[in-house]
Structure 1
Amino acid sequence: MLTGFIGTGSMGSILIEAFIRSGELLPEEILAVNRTPSKAERLARCFPGLQLAESVTEAASRSDILFLCVKPGDYPHLLHQIAPFCREDQWVVSITSPVMVDQLEERLPGKVAKVIPSVTNYVLGGAALCIYGSRVGRKDRQRFEQFLAPISRPLEVREEHTRISSDLSSCGPAFFAFLLDKLITAAVEVSGIDREEARRMASEMLLGTGMLLTSGGMCPQDIVRRVSVPGGITEGALKLLDQELGSTFERLIEVTHAKFREDAEKVAELFAGWDSPSASDSAPSTST
């Protein structure tokens, strides 16, 4: 079985590296192509045996599972190119949230899915959010989630919850890394502690907190209750955080949802343009 990747940017390369390091895929079982060939060539140098396709159509025709790891606006042109080379027995997996499953199913044969990965998959952890098309049966889902399990915890979500699920799972690491960096910077500026020492302590704290929330069986409120003693230092700090943050996270979600809606509308407009006969007949053909 050959697993293809169209796009080897940030998330595409993370998935490739994770599949190889987990042992789920050998380099020889991966076929990659990128608009900038040097990015795919770098992966081939790091993982000898990894195959490089010369075009997206080659990747589509040879792959049993084909991951589409490109920007939302690239999808209409890409699908126009690869659709004639895709097969009914093939999986096509998009990792791009503003592209809808039905937009893919209308234009491609076979089994279609959308998977929203996370940067945490790089260390074989975190979730992979799964949304399936109508041609994917129960046994298909089980087999596909077994394929994802070595690098993530596959979680099926409804497409209408794609954005909020992505905020929690895919964007969440960046949000909390940002907050952690602010805490580390404040610690350095206020106390003079060595930055690397502060980073190590804060990183171990975050790792341990994650373990409490997963294998430790605690919820966020449990941790707050255990750490915050009435009248103590943590309680006072938490009151300040509550006052300062206010509706910050509600507004954050409003921002991500607004951007998602904007991107989804643009993708729909682009698909409409590519679906018109005049646009399709004059479409340029590119290799990546």
Structure 2
Amino acid sequence: MKVGFIGTGSMGSLLIDAFIASGALQPEELYASNRTLGKLAQLVERHPGLHVCDSNIETATTCDLLFLCVKPLQFKKLTDEIRAYMNPHQIVVSITSPVQIYHLEKTLPCKIAKMIPSITHRVESGTCLCMYGDRIKEEDRKLLEHLLSSISKPIEIKESHARITSDFSSCGPAFLSFFLEQWIDAAVKITGTPRQELTCMASEMLLGTGMLLTQGGFSPKQLQGRVAVPGGITAEALALLNHSLSGVFEQLINTTHAKYEEDLHKCDELFSEAP
């Protein structure tokens, strides 16, 4: 199978690195094009045998499975560029949340899927959110999820739930890292404990907490109850967090949804234009 990537920026290159590191794909099976030739050169240096295509059209015509890893507002220009060279047997996967399946099915003649990946795939972990267009058949779904299962836990969702689920699977690592960073900054300032030492402890704690929630049989509420002894230090601190963070997560969700709706509106306008 020939697998192509149009766009090898942060997430496109991460997926390529992860697929190769997991053994799911060999460099010789991969084809890539990108506006910045330096990024392609870096990929080939890391993965000798990977094919660099001279244009997006070459990538599109060569591959059976094509990942589109460009920014939302670049999609219309890209699909207009490659549409005449695509065929109904190919599978195109968008990894961009605001670009809708109906945008791509209206524009391209091939099978359409949408996957929202996560930086956690770099360590073959985390969930990959999967959505499928009407032309995708069962064998296509199995092929995609088999490939994705090498670097993640694929979960099929409704496209209407893409934004809120992305908050957890895709944005979540940044949110949790921000929380840890603020916590570590405060601890260094107040106690003088070495930052590297605290960062190591916090990271191992986060890893262990994830395992307790996924493999240890705990829900978030149960885990809090197990750690927090009534009247103890943890319970006192949880009470503070409960008070201080009241309404914060509602605001977070409203913020991510507002940006999503803004980008979706722009994509609707772009895809309503004639090619």
TM-score normalised by the chain length of structure 1: 0.94
Q: CA deviation at 1:190?
A: 1.0
2:151 aligns with: 151
Q: CA deviation at 1:216?
A: 1.2
1:185 aligns with: 185
Query: Which secondary structure does the structure 2 equivalent of 1:174 belong to?
Result: helix
Q: Which runs of 5+ in 1 are unaligned?
A: 281-288
1:80 aligns with: 80
> Could you tell me how far apart the structure 2 residues matched to 1:127 and 1:253 are?
19
Q: CA deviation at 1:253?
A: 0.3
Deviation string, structure 1 residues 181-222 (Cα, Å, up to 9, x no partner): 111111111111110000000000000000001111211011
> Could you tell me how far apart the structure 2 residues matched to 1:214 and 1:40 are?
37
What pairs up with 1:133-148 in 2 under 5 angstroms?
Answer: 133-148=133-148
Q: CA deviation at 1:18?
A: 0.2
Q: CA deviation at 1:40?
A: 1.3
1:202 aligns with: 202
2:256 aligns with: 256
Query: Which secondary structure does the structure 2 equivalent of 1:5 belong to?
Result: strand
> Could you tell me how far apart the structure 2 residues matched to 1:86 and 1:172 are?
35
What pairs up with 1:213-224 in 2 under 5 angstroms?
Answer: 213-224=213-224
> Could you tell me how far apart the structure 2 residues matched to 1:206 and 1:157 are?
26
Deviation string, structure 1 residues 236-257 (Cα, Å, up to 9, x no partner): 0000001110110100000000
Query: Which secondary structure does the structure 2 equivalent of 1:246 belong to?
Result: coil
Q: CA deviation at 1:228?
A: 0.3
Q: Partner amino acid for 1:92?
A: V
> Could you tell me how far apart the structure 2 residues matched to 1:111 and 1:197 are?
49
User: Which one is further off, 197-206 or 209-218?
Assistant: 209-218
> Could you tell me how far apart the structure 2 residues matched to 1:119 and 1:52 are?
24
> Could you tell me how far apart the structure 1 residues matched to 2:118 and 2:57 are?
27
2:71 aligns with: 71
Q: Partner amino acid for 1:116?
A: I
1:55 equivalent to 2:55? Answer yes
What pairs up with 1:117-136 in 2 under 5 angstroms?
Answer: 117-136=117-136
1:101 aligns with: 101
1:26 aligns with: 26
Identity across the alignment (%): 53
User: CA RMSD, aligned part only?
Assistant: 0.8
> Could you tell me how far apart the structure 2 residues matched to 1:133 and 1:2 are?
21
Query: Which secondary structure does the structure 2 equivalent of 1:15 belong to?
Result: helix
> Could you tell me how far apart the structure 2 residues matched to 1:138 and 1:91 are?
13
1:286 aligns with: none
Query: Which secondary structure does the structure 2 equivalent of 1:48 belong to?
Result: coil
> Could you tell me how far apart the structure 1 residues matched to 2:14 and 2:250 are?
30
> Could you tell me how far apart the structure 1 residues matched to 2:216 and 2:87 are?
45
Q: Partner amino acid for 1:104?
A: L
TM-score normalised by the chain length of structure 2: 0.98
Query: Which secondary structure does the structure 2 equivalent of 1:32 belong to?
Result: strand
Runs of 4+ in 1 over 6 A off after TM superposition: none
Deviation string, structure 1 residues 64-118 (Cα, Å, up to 9, x no partner): 1100000010011100011111111111000000000011111112211000000
What pairs up with 1:267-278 in 2 under 5 angstroms?
Answer: 267-273=267-273, 275=274
Query: Which secondary structure does the structure 1 equivalent of 2:66 belong to?
Result: strand
Query: Which secondary structure does the structure 2 equivalent of 1:106 belong to?
Result: helix
What pairs up with 1:228-267 in 2 under 5 angstroms?
Answer: 228-267=228-267
Deviation string, structure 1 residues 9-45 (Cα, Å, up to 9, x no partner): 1110110000000000001111111111111111111
Q: Which runs of 5+ in 2 are unaligned?
A: none
1:160 aligns with: 160
Q: Partner amino acid for 2:80?
A: H
Q: CA deviation at 1:52?
A: 0.4
Q: CA deviation at 1:6?
A: 0.4
Q: Partner amino acid for 2:182?
A: K
> Could you tell me how far apart the structure 2 residues matched to 1:142 and 1:213 are?
27
Q: Tell me the number of residue pairs that the alignment of Structure 1 and Structure 2 aligns.
A: 275
> Could you tell me how far apart the structure 2 residues matched to 1:217 and 1:108 are?
44
> Could you tell me how far apart the structure 1 residues matched to 2:207 and 2:19 are?
22
